[in-house]
Structure 1
Amino acid sequence: MENIPNISVIDPITPAWNHMVRILFKPFAFKKWLLLGFCAFLSQCGEAGGSNITNISYFRTSNSNIGEWVEANTMLFVTLICASILVIFIFVCFILWLASRGKFMLIDGIVKNRGAVSEPWNDYKKEGNSLCLLSIFIWIVYVVVFVIIVGLSLLIAMPDIQNGSFQTAGLLAVLFGSLTFILYIFASIAITFFLNVFVLPTMYLKRIKATEAFKLAWTQFCKDRMWKSTLLFLMMLMLGIGASTIGFFGILATCCLGALPYVNSVLFLPITLFFACYSLCYLQQFGKDWTFFKNLCRFCNYELHGLEDGCVCPECGKN
């Protein structure tokens, strides 16, 4: 592995911004913008969602009727539950599949500076499907861990539940559930960050399966540089707060039309591309084997077309 003396989380900001401007505005092409927006929309499938408010009072008043119906139709009830779980699972798998394929379409459009759908969809079919399988596995782990947390919390609180009171067991259950759920959230965020920032670009550049990319990305970027990865996460979090503020006012300025899924992806495409370019520019600091943007300096984005391979960049003096 090439010895990298210094990896910065600040240096990639300027090249990432320059790449975003070059892709979207030099020159501006409305069709390419829409196509890249569509790729961004697909890549973000399943990353946001809403929740419905249930009429609790209705279920309280009809609780006895529901219990009687379940007792009288036990097999039908079990069948409906199993069918519902199966439908939800299939739907989630479909969404994860679309998102996995869309992520490669977006990164391909960024690296090759083009707005294309069918070509990257077909070219990265193998990698997209592999990422989808890994995402499904991780999603199943999320569900299993969540069920275990809830189950253990209920088990701890069982004495108070049976007594119809809230005392020591109930308090311990709340503390246990709260702490483990916070750890669960942090772990989920860390895994998502690792997949999007490290594993996905590795799969795209090396054309390898998700499990292989997972191991390679961990060894190359995180194993001996955990603190740098943490700094990268904090930097992207800080930039994300600023981007969220811009997005909030942008949605208000469009009378909430900017909150619509595809409209949101198109309207805030510069933000999406900047963050994608930022992660790629960060990875390019790890050596020539991690160059995503060909004929461009991996440090400052200077155009190197026509110059000899291995030459020093006239702009920043780096090689």
Structure 2
Amino acid sequence: MVKIDFNKAFNSSMNYMSSILFKPFIFRKWLALGFVAMLAGFGSGGSGGGGNSGSNTSSWGRSVDKMSPDIGTYLHQYLWLILLGVGLIIILCFIFTWLASVFKFVYTDQLVRNSMEIKEPFARLKGLGTSYFLWTIAFGLAFLLSLLVIVGIPALIAYKTYYTSTALSIGCIVIGSLLFIMLAIVGGVIDIFARDFVITTMYVKNLRIIEAWRTVIPVIKANKGQIALYILLLIVIAIASGIISIFIMIAAVIIMAIPVGILVGLSLLIALAASLTWNAFTIASVSILSVIMLFVFSTLLVCLMQPLLVFRRVFALQVLGQLDPDLATIDVINTMTPSSQPPIS
């Protein structure tokens, strides 16, 4: 078992992050890293929200009942359009998942080589990204199937026995919840191994996904205690990063508020002057502008988060380099410059 020097990995990652982002500060490099990190899915998060219902629920229910025939008519009339839309969404999901898989390698390449290049590493690494993409799809389907079986069966039993055996129903709910938590933890750990270790192994040795897992699994098994400590440290880093990200998001909102406010104001003035009304053209225009503004805001947010994202990725690279020197990409002793040996010829 290899004893990981986490203190050295932490300090080295901070030094390397500082060297490539601030020494010197190059605005174009921040944009390049931010753009790639956004497409790679680094720094993305999810949020959930709830709604509340008004007091006039019965009136709302009657309105829905009146609308039901019309809804059915519309669904029947535009079924082909709905199916086309669903099909396009699925295709887009596959495309963006593939892009995210490839850009994970491009982002790693940018950090290892201290580079702003995008086009050349994309062409060079898209084969590895495609291999990772296929594994991602297979893993996602396996996870959903496991979720359906492990959680779905207790949920079905709880539903069937809700009126006949309350104790059994509650027991199934508790068991299903525990199984869901366990499955989520296992899936999260596998995802960490894939992102932090497997991608790097594929990058360094130019291996496909299965061969990379075969290389990584023995390293994990031989260092189970150190890997467990690494995951705990990642939780601490994630909490600290989450707190800092709140302030970064506030800064991004403030930066975007002025240009967005000006754009919205000008749009309203133009709409009033031209006596525009809501129609297919105006709805499409507002939708396109909203997508553009969302893209710009997302890019700005990820650019501002680069110190966090670079540190997190470099920290993983350095930990793996200590576990297996053959997989080292960035010198863990002198982190002011990338490794002199390029990972892929």
For the criterion TM > 0.5, the same-fold answer is yes
Q: Which amino acid aligns with 1:189?
A: G
Note the residue ranges of structure 2 that are not aligned, 5 or more in a row: 257-293
* Aligned match of 1:233: 231
The alpha carbon displacement at 1:303 in A equals: 6.1
In structure 2, what is the Cα distance between the partners aligned to 1:154 and 1:64? 33
Structure having the higher helix fraction is 2
Taking structure 1 as reference, are residues 122 and 267 closer, same or farther at Cα in structure 2, changes over 3 Å only? same
Q: 8 Å contact 1:9–1:235 — kept in the other structure?
A: no
Deviations 1:96-138 (A, max 9, x none): 1121111111110000001111111101010011111111111
* Aligned match of 2:170: 171
Structure 2 residue 257 is matched with structure 1 residue 223: no
Structure 2 residue 211 is matched with structure 1 residue 212: yes
Question: Pairwise mapping of residues 1-40 of structure 1 onto structure 2 (< 5 A)?
Answer: 5-40=2-37
Deviations 1:29-73 (A, max 9, x none): 111111011111111179534557578866797479869987x99
SS of structure 2 residue aligned to 1:115 = coil
* Aligned match of 1:183: 182
SS of structure 1 residue aligned to 2:6 = coil
Q: Which amino acid aligns with 1:122?
A: A
Q: Which amino acid aligns with 2:36?
A: C
* Aligned match of 2:115: 114
Q: 8 Å contact 2:252–2:301 — kept in the other structure?
A: no
Question: Pairwise mapping of residues 56-205 of structure 1 onto structure 2 (< 5 A)?
Answer: 62=64, 86-161=87-162, 163=163, 167-205=166-204
Alignment coverage as a number of residue pairs: 297
In structure 2, what is the Cα distance between the partners aligned to 1:196 and 1:127? 13
Identity %: 26
Taking structure 1 as reference, are residues 237 and 305 closer, same or farther at Cα in structure 2, changes over 3 Å only? closer
TM-score (norm 2): 0.74
In structure 1, what is the Cα distance between the partners aligned to 2:221 and 2:37? 30
The alpha carbon displacement at 1:95 in A equals: 2.4
Q: 8 Å contact 1:39–1:106 — kept in the other structure?
A: yes
The alpha carbon displacement at 1:288 in A equals: 3.9
RMSD: 3.5
SS of structure 2 residue aligned to 1:10 = helix
Q: 8 Å contact 2:19–2:336 — kept in the other structure?
A: no
In structure 1, what is the Cα distance between the partners aligned to 2:135 and 2:46? 21
Q: Larger RCO: Structure 1 or Structure 2 (Cα < 8 Å, ≥ 6 residues apart)?
A: 2
Q: 8 Å contact 1:32–1:115 — kept in the other structure?
A: yes
